Amino acid sequence: MGKIVIMDHPLLQHKIGLLRRKETPTKDFRELVGEVAMLIYYEASRDLPLTDREIETPLCKTTVKEIAGKKLCIVPILRAGIGLCDGILRINPSAKVGHIGLYRDEETLEPVEYFCKMPSDAAQRDIFVVDPMLATGGSAIAAIELLRKRGIKRIRFLCLIAAPEGLNKLHEAFPDVDIYVGALDEKLNERGYILPGLGDAGDRIFGTK
């Protein structure tokens, strides 16, 4: 059974509080998204398997730990998920990056797919699907369905803010996927926006409002 981790670290709560403020400008918003993503990723990568490697320090031989296997792949859900990548790649620069393009139809709130490009060896990697917002859950579920169809098994999902509706739906759809959430909010409004939330994440990251 996958786990649901709601982050409670003070640094993270402080930064998410800054993200929520409507007066936070694009430049600060973007930087904060990167920092928050890095902090969530730190927790989400806690249980990655390690292997031993013999090395030499300047003084003697020793055994060190390194991440086992084919390593990792970050998969942002376009477009807002891109905002999380820089922060994550700063602490995990060798990770590969796949992209899934989805947008939410404003009327139906259903996800519409427009792009998917994954590394050819993605099925051998630990996958971190990242998106700032988990609202109805439609986009996250569609993205993970796409990955599962490609035979990809080891998937974690990271978001900055989740609504209870989307979190429950995602966990029911994929009970084996670990979900890491920066903050769990109260509910969705009638237009599918998270309350209190932070508004439209993509528009705030890219300054398109």
Q: Which residues are catalytic?
A: 104, 108, 200, 203
Chain-centroid distance, C-alpha 3? 15
> Segment near ligand URA (CB under 6 A), from 16-24, 151-159, 168-176, 192-200?
192-200
Minimum separation from the CB atom of position 67 to ligand URA (A): 32
Q: Does 170 bind ligand URA (CB under 6 A)?
A: no
Tokens describing residue 61:
């031989």
Applying CB under 6 A, which of residues 36, 39, 201, 205 lies at the interface with ligand URA?
Answer: 201
Q: Nearest to ligand PRP by Cβ — which residue?
A: 202
Binding flags for ligand URA, 102-141, as an x/- string (CB under 6 A): -------------------------------x-x------
Ramachandran area for residue 32 (φ above 0: left; ψ -120 to 50: alpha; else beta): alpha
Nearest 5 degrees, angle CA 81-CA 87-CA 88?
A: 80
Q: What is the DSSP letter of 93?
A: T
Amino acid at residue number 37? A
> In degrees to the nearest 10, what's the CA dihedral of 137, 190, 197, 148?
10
Applying CB under 6 A, which of residues 200, 205, 206, 209 lies at the interface with ligand URA?
Answer: 200
Q: Which residues pair with 104 in a beta bridge?
A: 111
Q: Which does 138 bind (CB under 5 to 8 A by kind): ligand URA, ligand PRP, none?
A: ligand PRP
Total binding residues toward ligand URA, as defined by CB under 6 A: 9
Minimum separation from the CB atom of position 162 to ligand URA (A): 10
In our burial notation (b when 16+ CB lie closer than 10 A, e otherwise), range 168-197 reads ebbbeebeebbbbbbbbbeebeeebbbeeb
User: Alpha-carbon distance 191 to 194, whole Å?
Assistant: 9
Q: Which does 79 bind (CB under 5 to 8 A by kind): ligand URA, ligand PRP, none?
A: ligand PRP
Q: Which is nearer to ligand PRP, 66 or 115 (CB)?
A: 115
Binding stretches for ligand URA (CB under 6 A): 133, 135, 192-194, 197, 200-202
